[in-house]
Amino acid sequence: MDIPDFKVSLKCLFCGETLEGPEDAEYQSGDLIKCTRCGEENDYDSVLEVAKEEGVGQVKEMVEDQLQKQFKGLFKKYP
């Protein structure tokens, strides 16, 4: 089964803006990431948790799509 590449970005928990740190920034558990839009500080662990859920949701959708296509194919082959 093919799963296309997908991207999950870290988003501000307060305003939903994509969080962008310096290119070489390395965040660690317990760090705070300041949002460039609203200025709120996001807890890195929470931001990561939300991104993880979003990623799982995206993969699930893709898998369901693939399965649906394969099921359609099955019915075509064996009418």
| Chain residues that interact with Zn ion, rule: CB under 5 A | 12, 14-15, 17, 35, 37-38
Q: Which is nearer to Zn ion, 14 or 71 (CB)?
A: 14
> In angstroms, what is the minimal distance from the CB of 77 to Zn ion?
50
Q: Which is nearer to Zn ion, 17 or 43 (CB)?
A: 17
CA distances from 63 to 24, 42, 70, 73 (A): 33, 31, 10, 15
Residue with tokens 């099921």: 71
Q: Which is nearer to Zn ion, 11 or 62 (CB)?
A: 11
CA distance 74 to 16: 41
